[in-house]
Structure 1
């Protein structure tokens, strides 16, 4: 997968960062409700040969105002788990990052680390895409 900053027009964006993984979990804590969310993704090769993201599953640790679990969610061990509705193959994930909230966590191989371990935040949007391993540093 690749991580890139969606730079402001006047600011050149740094090169995308390649993270060698075929599966990952994106996790965050809602800034107001303090509820943890996790979404699982895979980087897969489409029949046409290109690589793409595929949403596999999601879970939320409880519920809160404006954060109701999906209608098909199942509550187990305090987590509402479900299959993400709608677009299952997003072209990109656009993550708003701010100095005023905790950073997203990227989990690979059973280890979770702040997204800033791979790519520092510029206080704007970070874009996650599927990419070939040779595409970036």
Structure 2
């Protein structure tokens, strides 16, 4: 299993166990969104999602519960080989990616960033 994640041309060290999180603001609703991911042999697996409200395109999962002001749920989706993050420029910032440390990605509008496990 990979201990790092490629974010474009940059390698980001992952938390112990191969986990990382993504957080951003929705471009229209300006509501915070948080996801937790795991690098698995089958790819990147979304293990937990949370939003601080809901609106256009931000519906929580059917099993969502309120925890400290966040609607939290565990998506039941298969792993994906990669994630493509597209920055609209309308969010006031980019994506916050946290593994062993945190980095900001995609602050420039129109630039997509692909996340995928580092090769073994």
TM-score in terms of structure 2 length: 0.79
More helix by share: 1
Q: How is 1:34-49 mapped onto 2 (pairs within 5 angstroms)?
A: 34-44=30-40, 46=41
- Normalised to the residue count of structure 1, the TM-score between the two structures is 0.70
Task: Supply the distance in 2 between the matched residues of 1:99 and 1:67 (Cα, whole angstroms).
Answer: 18
CA distance 1:127–1:30, shift in 2 (3 Å): same
Give the distance between the partners of 1:100 and 1:68, measured in 2 at CA. 20
Q: CA RMSD in A?
A: 2.2
Q: Distance in 2 between matches of 1:113 and 1:25?
A: 11
Point out where structure 1 has 5 or more consecutive residues left out of the alignment.
Answer: 5-15
Structure 2: tracts of 5 or more residues without a match? none
| Greater fraction of residues in strand | 2
Equivalent in the alignment of 1:99: 89
The alignment covers a number of residue pairs equal to 112
